Structure 1
Amino acid sequence: MRAAVIGLGVEGKKAFESLLRNNWDVYASDLSTKLNLENMNLPVADINLLSKEKRLSFIIENAMIDLGFTNPEEIDNCDAVAISPSMFGTELANKYQKQGKLLCDVLTKHREIFTIGITGTNGKTTTVTMIHKILEKAGYNVLIGGNGGGGFEGYYDLILEAEKGDYDVMLIEVCDMTLNFCNYCFDFDIVGLTNIGNDHMNVHKSIENYKNTVKNFFKGKEVFISKYQDFKDELESSARETNYFKETEYPLQLFGNFNKLDAGLASAISKKLGIDEPIIKDTLENFQPVEGRLKVLHLNDCDIFIGKSDNSSAIHSILEEKDFHAIFIGTPRVNEEDRLDILNEVVNHNPEVIVLFPGLEDTIDYAKMRLQSLNYNGRIEIANNLDEIVAFVAEFSFEDAIFIGGNGQDAIIQIQIRLEEIIESINKSF
């Protein structure tokens, strides 16, 4: 079998790798030639590179990649097409949808599995992981994945894996930018909404548009919504059945009311599935933070709160519950100016120190300009690398609390790992 992957963003790269792992031949293309292919595990020694003006072609044993152009004949000769979720609804995607060549229409076993989708702005990965652990403890065989940005292998990996296994439940993290794509590709039996917040406004343009996309996604489905959620009446009117959840009453090993809400959603869905209360309680009370998400470390006199929090809604939820002497913020990509709204929340919190570090990209100059426009009068520091970040953490480690977050999950995970190593080393020396 041969598949075409059109678009090599996060999901496209993951689709390419998943198809190769499942022994498909693959043709992939992207109109940009400025893509980082390092994480695609291409066997460099076996690559035959063809270059013509601003076009590049990579040819390996069972795959071909075109950058700067797309070859329609190659796509037409494929058995299935995996489009980037952002392309869903375009003329090109509609063409292959009408032909029945989209991968989710060629392989269909995933639509036979009982499917739970978790979407929203913040808390998706934590909620999905909580439900996964509960269901596995209850004896279910669970296929878990979805949004590549959440650390999973991607939507197409779910479709491919479903063909091979005998699963009771498929559990999907649904990115708010891929709602229409997922609505077509998967048959959701239950959908949980963590929250609707201020993120990806470069795509949604407004909260109103985002809400309307969620409303359309809810049509005909059984949904779970927070009792505090804005637009409750509108969202409920679109759904087939609506269930409301609130914060869990179980003691958690996680910080923050927002995590209690995520646990409340996980608990509500699990109870709907008939999972015994003791299993839910034990799982949630012993649940540990997901890698890269908010956790608390202790160094000298200081509580270090660290975790990805890449939008102003996430930062607001954290800062309203705790005072921080210093706040470290990873910067967003160049085209994500709306994520600089994080700094508005930070300045409102008015810490003594703000430390900026490269998160997804080195946009520190943009961040400094935003701080200047907000008339922040505290101390501003720049940490250009991991060593400099650690040095600032050491300087502030005798304060009550500091926060490290913002954009750049990989960078934040590296900081977590380094700090945990330092803390473990100190503890061993006593």
Structure 2
Amino acid sequence: MRLVVLGGGESGVGTAILGKKKGYDVFVSDFGKIKDNYREVLSINGIKWEDEKHTEELILNADVVMKSPGIPDKAPIVKKLVEKGISVISEIEFAIQFTKAMTIGITGSNGKTTTTLLTYHLLKQGGLNVGLGGNIGKSFAWQVAEDKHDVYVLELSSFQLDGIINYKPHIAIITNLSPDHLDRYNYDYNLYIASKFRITMNQDENDYLIVDYDDVEITKWLQNNTTKANVIPFSILKELENGGSIKEENLNNYINNELFTMPINELALEGKHNIKNAMAATAVAQLMKIRKQTIRESLSNFQGAEHRLEKVLKIQGVQYINDSKATNVNATFFALDSMTTPTVWIVGGVDKGNDYDELMSLVREKVKGIVCLGIDNQKLFNTFENVVDVMVETTSMTEAVKIAEKIAEKGDTVLLSPCCASFDLFENYEDRGRQFKNAVHNL
């Protein structure tokens, strides 16, 4: 059996290693450049690879192709594979056939990283032999090849879900839905929503689907479609008989006739959206029979995700916050919503069709100055120029942070929450976040 892996990053190399171990004839092809550390791993494992090209005769003879999530369906090589009827799947779909481990799959437009890390933390503290993978950390396929875990918590993007056929998580979470990556879905929001709900398509009566009941699109989908899974809702707006809700400043999770309760002010993570993330993660812990005391302790000592509302430093009474992972309007909405002091907002990058009007009321209420950080900031200027007192354009992180420092006064917050992708000036959102933290430390 010939396995061709498109993309020589973390998921590609992990898949190649698992494929080799299972006796496939493996070939890795990357249209970009494969990083040195991955080249080395492939060579040590005797796996053939190429980069900066796709050689068709070495690819179109595949029995199965694993496509890395970053490669769009409209890539010419992918189209040719589909025309030939060759199965093109995601890393998750390839790896799941080689493990008996239970998986918890987590998707959504925002909050999925935090919810994934929090769920992993709860299960690990509860003594389970648990792995973390998917869109985060070490490749799932790579971990399956080493076969070390009984349970995996997987962060799944819509792109990974597009490439599943038989994959079925025992517990699935959809944190929320908002328009994101629409460039990959022909600018059709419904196609993107359908992608997210693929997470539940193979689930049966023994499985669980945990969803945000305050989310309009999620509730609409559930009214118009069916899932065999047991649906567990959570909400911060309404009281629910079953699932997660708020009562008298307590987080209440009522699951399988068991009530878990905890004061909201004891949660380690701040902000309304994090109450929801906590409800979803707690539901998983309850289903996995983790002791209530352990859940409480874990929720109160959890350290959040890097680049997600991460407090960097307080300098001369000004708090600097790194929210580089906010690559869409909805994520930045959460960030601005959780600000309690006058804010200098650093924003900009590659716009994925953003509608900034949704942020207007928050900007009016909380933002005193805007520092644009991107190649093209025209749309931001058109929207906010008359709303804030100061608006400045910059093209480097160091400059952006220095200007933000000048605008900010004691008691203010400087928030990097770009609302956009990072590819115009940075490698990725991690690079952008690290540069921000370095610039703050150098003030």
TM-score in same-fold range (> 0.5): yes
Between 412-421 and 273-282, the greater mean CA deviation after superposition: 412-421
Where 2:321 maps in the other structure, the secondary structure is strand
TM-score, normalization by structure 2: 0.74
Aligned-partner Cα distance in 2 for 1:238–1:394? 52
1:305 and 2:321 are equivalent in the alignment: yes
User: Deviations along 1:114-136, whole A, 9 cap, x unmatched?
Assistant: 11100000011111111111111
- State the distance in 1 between where 2:270 and 2:58 align: 53
| Deviation per residue, 1:79-130 (Å, 9 max, x gap) | 75322344499662573339x99994587223x2211100000011111111
SS where residue 238 of structure 1 aligns?
coil
Match of residue 173, structure 1, among 155, 166, 169:
155
Could you tell me whether the CA contact under 8 Å between 2:66 and 2:94 is conserved in 1? no
Name the SS for the 2:353 alignment partner. helix
8 Å CA contact 2:126–2:294 kept in 1: the answer is: yes
Structure 1 position 96 matched with structure 2 position 62: no
> Cα deviation per residue 1:150-193 (whole Å; 9 max; x = unaligned)?
x434xxx3134213324221211011233231x42622111001
- 1:344-355 mapped onto 2 (5 Å cutoff): 345=359, 349-350=363-364, 351-355=367-371
**TM-score in terms of structure 1 length:** 0.76
For 1:417, the equivalent position in structure 2 comes to: 437
Partner Cα distance (2:181, 2:92) in 1: 26
Distance of aligned partners of 1:101 and 1:390 in 2 relative to their CA distance in 1, 3 Å threshold? closer
Task: State the Cα distance separating 1:39 from its structure 2 match.
Answer: 6.6
Instruction: Tell me: CA distance 1:387–1:217, structure 2 relative to 1, closer, same or farther (3 Å).
Output: closer
231, 251, 254: which is aligned to 2:269? 254
Q: Within 5 A, what are the aligned runs for 1:253-402?
A: 253-296=268-311, 297-307=313-323, 308-322=325-339, 324-332=342-350, 336-339=351-354, 341-342=355-356, 345=359, 349-350=363-364, 351-358=367-374, 364-365=375-376, 367=377, 369-374=378-383, 376-377=385-386, 378-395=389-406, 396=408, 398-402=410-414
Q: What is the alpha-carbon distance in structure 2 between the residues aligned to residue 116 and residue 400 of structure 1?
A: 40
Following the alignment from structure 1 to structure 2, what is the Cα–Cα distance between the partners of residues 18 and 259? 31
Please say which of residues 392-401 and 20-29 is displaced more in the overlay: 20-29
Indicate the residue corresponding to 1:56 in structure 2. none
Q: What does residue 180 of structure 2 align with?
A: 199
* Cα distance in 2 between the residues matched to 1:347 and 1:233: 26
CA distance, structure 1, for counterparts of residue 216 and residue 184 of structure 2: 20
- Which amino acid in 2 is paired with 1:370? K
Instruction: Tell me what 1:83 maps to.
Output: 67
- CA displacement 1:1-20 (0-9 Å, x = unmatched): 974222x3xxx522343256
CA distance in 2, matches of 1:2, 1:113: 25
Answer yes or no: is the 8 Å Cα contact 1:137–1:279 preserved in 2. Answer: yes
Given that residues 4 and 80 in structure 1 are in contact (C-alpha distance below 8 angstroms), is that contact kept between their aligned partners in structure 2? Answer: yes
CA contact (8 A) 2:346 2:373 kept: yes
Q: Match for 2:430: what amino acid?
A: D
Aligned length: 381
**Deviation at 1:201?**
1.7
Q: Percent identity?
A: 20
Identify if the C-alpha distance between structure 1 residues 124 and 37 changes in structure 2 by more than 3 Å, giving closer, same or farther: same
Q: Does 1:64 align with 2:60?
A: no
Deviation of 1:259 after TM superposition, in Å, equals 1.2
Q: 1:187 to 1:206 in 2, by over 3 A?
A: same
Q: Give the letter for the 2:359 counterpart.
A: E
Q: 1:280: how far off?
A: 0.9
| Equivalent in the alignment of 2:11 | 15
Q: Which has the higher helix share?
A: 1
Partner Cα distance (2:310, 2:58) in 1: 50
* Equivalent residue number for residue 190 of structure 1: 171
1:287 CA displacement: 0.7
Is 1:220–1:238's contact at 8 Å kept on the other side of the alignment? Answer: no
- Asked if the contact 2:63–2:86 (Cα under 8 Å) also holds between the matched residues in 1, the reply is no
